[in-house]
Every structure is written in structure tokens, then in C-alpha cells.
């Protein structure tokens, strides 16, 4: 006959064994994880020591080459500024810090730093190309970037652009479009201004002054050019000032006219229609008809 007296005890022993095995498994997992971390620490530590003692300073920077067609950037001052940052090893040089220092120079538009094995650092520097003066002390580049060089005296021949901060691209764009319109007559815009009320004015290369107001300056000049043939070559050459702030015409002041100039129309209002243009000596008065033309 089977003995059932010991069956509860046998079951208890099996449960204890299973619990002991379950406890051993997590302990083994933790032990393996610890060994892996310890090995990784040894590898990392050994690599760091090898970097510090064998590699980091084994390839010092011996040459710094500046590749640039810069005309205004002082190479001596530029080299002196970056010198403290190139005294480390070639692999350890902080390229971002070198670029930041290089960009503190007003004439630097863009700079790129490249490592050249085994001991050379190359700085590729692009310089701003100014196309106009901006307000009194600044220049504006062909990309519409305003920058402040140490002096603007040598750029007196550049066109003068005036505007508020942040308007550099907008004013430069209008200047280019107006020059394109005026190219056929061989005129150029030497001064273009947009004040805080967004009122425009311009001066041309032959001295003509254009008062454009708050209308679109490009459209206003295009309409003026379309009506100038009615004046004729002699009268057009004699123009001193054109006031384009009227909605349905414009007023003209001629250089050889001794009368007082027309009263300017306020930018705050549409203003009255111009009554008459100047009378030319010995000529009939063509200006009355021209001023009445509807744009």
C-alpha cells in the first residue's frame, strides 16, 4: 500500500527548492550586469588615459592657414585673436569656438574651420562685399546684411541708403529695382531713404530729387518714366525735383526756373491735385495737361 503520510512534506520541499532557484536567477543577472559595467568602465578609463597621454597632444597644431580673398580684414589682428584657441592638439581644437571668435570681426561674413592632417588648421573666410552705405556709420552687403566697419570714410562713393533697423533687405531690394527701371535713361539712384513713416524719397545720379511718399516707389517711378516723353528731352534734362505724392499726377520743379517751389503735400493726407507745372520761358505751358493726366 502507498504511504500518503509524507505527501505534504514532499510538496513543501519542492516549493522551497523552486523559491531558492527563483532567487538565484536575479542574483546571477545582477552579477552579470555588474561585470559588464565594470568592464565598460575599464575600457572607457583606459581609452581616456590613452587619449590624454598618447594621442591628445601627439599631433600639435603647427600651421594655421587662412584662405581668403579679403581686402579689408586685417590678417595680423585676425591671427592674433584666434591664437589662444589653436595651442592645443589638432584633434582637440574647439572649431566652434574658433568660428565664434572669427565672426566677431565686422568684415567676416562666413568662416569655416577645417582640420588638415597631421598638423594644419585651415580657416576659409568670406568677406562682406558692401554695395551701399547704410545710414551714417554702417554698410550693407550684397546679401542685405548690415555691418559696422571701423571706418566708412573710404566708401564715400557708394550709394547712400537710409532706413530703420530691420529694413536693410527691403530698402536694398527697392534700390535695385529702381536702378533697373532707370538703366535705359542711364540714371542711377545715389540716395534712397525710407523714414519711420515709411515715406520714400530718392536722389538720382544727375541730381534729380524724387519725392515718392508712401506709395509703392517702384510703381510710382515706372509711371513717371511712362509720362516723361511728353515733356521732351530738354524739359526732362532740366528737372530738379518731382513730387509723386499726388494720386492723379505729379508736380515738377525745373532747374532754371526762379520761382518758388510748389508747397509740399502732407504725407498724412491724399493731398490736393497739382494745378500746374512750371512754365518754361518762351514755351507754351505743357505742364497743365501733363499734371491732369490720370494714372
Q: Once rounded to an integer, what is the mean pLDDT over residues 192-217?
A: 96
Q: State the greatest distance between any 2 C-alpha atoms of the chain, in Å, as a whole number.
A: 151
pLDDT above 70: percentage of residues in the chain = 67
Q: Of 109, 127, 145, at which residue does a domain stop?
A: 127
Q: Do 153 and 72 share a structural domain?
A: no
- Domain residues for the domain of 280 are 131-291
Residue 147: its H or E element: strand 146-147
Residue 282 in domain: yes
Q: Do 256 and 122 share a structural domain?
A: no
Q: Once rounded to an integer, what is the mean pLDDT over residues 229-246?
A: 90
Question: In the predicted model, what is the mean pLDDT of the chain?
Answer: 78
Residue 73 in domain: yes
CATH at residue 89 = 3.10.20.310
Report the domain count for the chain.
Answer: 2
Residue 171 in domain: yes
Give percent helix, percent strand, percent coil of the chain, each to the nearest 5.
Answer: 40, 20, 40
Tell me the pLDDT tens digit for each residue of 180-198.
999 999 999 999 999 999 9
Residue of 4 and 190 predicted with greater confidence: 190
Residue of 26 and 47 predicted with greater confidence: 26
Degrees to nearest 5, angle at CA 43 with 37 and 49: 130
Order of strands, edge to edge, in the sheet holding 63-67?
Answer: 63-67, 120-127, 108-116
What is the reported pLDDT for 142? 94
What is the reported pLDDT for 19? 52
Q: Do 140 and 280 share a structural domain?
A: yes
Whether pLDDT at 248 is above 90: no
Tell whether the torsion through CA atoms of 214, 219, 225 and 231 is positive or negative. negative
Tell me the pLDDT tens digit for each residue of 258-293.
544 554 433 444 444 443 343 334 444 444 333 433
Residue 88's pLDDT band, with cuts at 50, 70 and 90, is confident
What is the reported pLDDT for 43? 59
Residue 60's pLDDT band, with cuts at 50, 70 and 90, is confident
Q: Do 272 and 139 share a structural domain?
A: yes
Identify the CA nearest to 214 among candidates 232, 186, 195. 195
The Cα–Cα gap between 144 and 85 comes to 31
Q: Of 86, 111, 127, at which residue does a domain stop?
A: 127
Q: Return the minimum-mean-pLDDT range out of 18-32, 60-74, 139-153, 196-210.
A: 18-32
What is the reported pLDDT for 31? 66
Strand partners for 183:
none
What cell numbers appear for 125 in the block? 573666410
Give 105's contacts (C-beta < 8 A, 6+ positions apart). 73, 77, 78, 81
Q: Do 203 and 75 share a structural domain?
A: no
Q: Do 273 and 183 share a structural domain?
A: yes
Query: Could you tell me the CA-to-CA distances from 80 to 58, 61, 66, 85, 204 in Å, in that order?
Result: 24, 15, 12, 10, 44
Q: Which residue has the cell 590678417?
A: 75
Quick one: angle between helices 95-102 and 75-82, nearest 10? 140
Tell me the pLDDT tens digit for each residue of 90-149.
888 899 999 999 999 999 999 999 999 888 999 999 999 999 999 999 999 999 999 999
**How many Cβ atoms are within 10 Å of 99's Cβ, its own excluded?**
17
pTM, full prediction: 0.68
Amino acid at each position: 500500500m502507498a504511504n500518503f503520510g509524507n505527501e505534504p512534506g514532499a510538496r513543501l520541499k519542492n516549493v522551497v527548492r523552486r523559491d531558492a532557484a527563483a532567487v538565484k536567477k536575479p542574483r546571477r543577472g545582477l552579477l552579470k550586469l555588474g561585470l559588464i559595467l565594470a568592464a565598460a568602465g575599464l575600457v572607457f578609463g583606459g581609452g581616456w588615459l590613452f587619449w590624454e597621454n598618447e594621442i591628445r597632444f601627439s599631433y600639435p597644431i603647427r600651421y594655421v592657414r587662412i584662405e581668403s580673398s579679403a581686402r579689408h580684414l586685417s590678417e595680423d589682428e585676425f591671427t592674433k585673436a584666434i591664437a589662444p584657441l589653436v595651442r592645443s592638439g589638432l584633434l582637440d581644437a574647439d572649431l566652434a569656438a574658433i568660428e565664434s571668435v572669427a565672426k566677431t570681426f565686422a568684415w567676416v561674413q562666413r568662416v569655416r574651420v577645417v582640420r588638415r592632417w597631421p598638423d594644419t588648421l585651415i580657416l576659409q573666410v568670406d568677406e562682406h562685399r558692401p554695395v551701399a552705405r547704410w545710414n551714417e556709420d554702417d554698410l550693407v552687403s550684397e546679401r542685405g546684411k548690415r555691418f559696422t566697419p571701423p571706418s566708412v570714410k573710404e566708401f564715400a562713393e557708394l550709394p547712400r541708403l537710409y532706413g530703420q533697423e530691420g529694413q536693410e533687405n527691403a530698402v536694398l531690394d527697392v534700390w535695385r529695382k529702381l536702378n533697373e527701371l532707370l538703366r535705359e535713361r542711364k540714371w542711377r539712384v545715389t540716395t534712397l531713404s525710407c523714414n519711420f513713416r515709411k515715406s520714400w524719397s530718392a536722389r538720382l545720379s544727375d541730381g534729380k530729387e524724387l519725392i515718392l511718399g508712401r506709395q509703392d516707389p517702384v510703381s510710382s517711378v515706372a509711371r513717371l518714366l511712362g509720362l516723361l516723353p511728353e515733356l521732351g528731352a530738354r524739359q526732362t534734362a532740366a528737372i530738379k525735383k518731382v513730387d509723386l505724392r499726388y494720386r492723379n499726377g505729379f508736380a515738377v520743379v525745373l532747374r532754371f526756373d526762379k520761382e518758388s517751389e510748389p508747397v509740399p503735400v502732407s504725407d498724412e493726407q491724399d493731398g490736393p491735385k497739382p494745378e500746374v507745372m512750371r512754365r518754361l520761358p518762351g514755351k507754351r505751358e505743357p505742364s497743365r495737361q501733363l499734371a491732369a493726366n490720370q494714372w
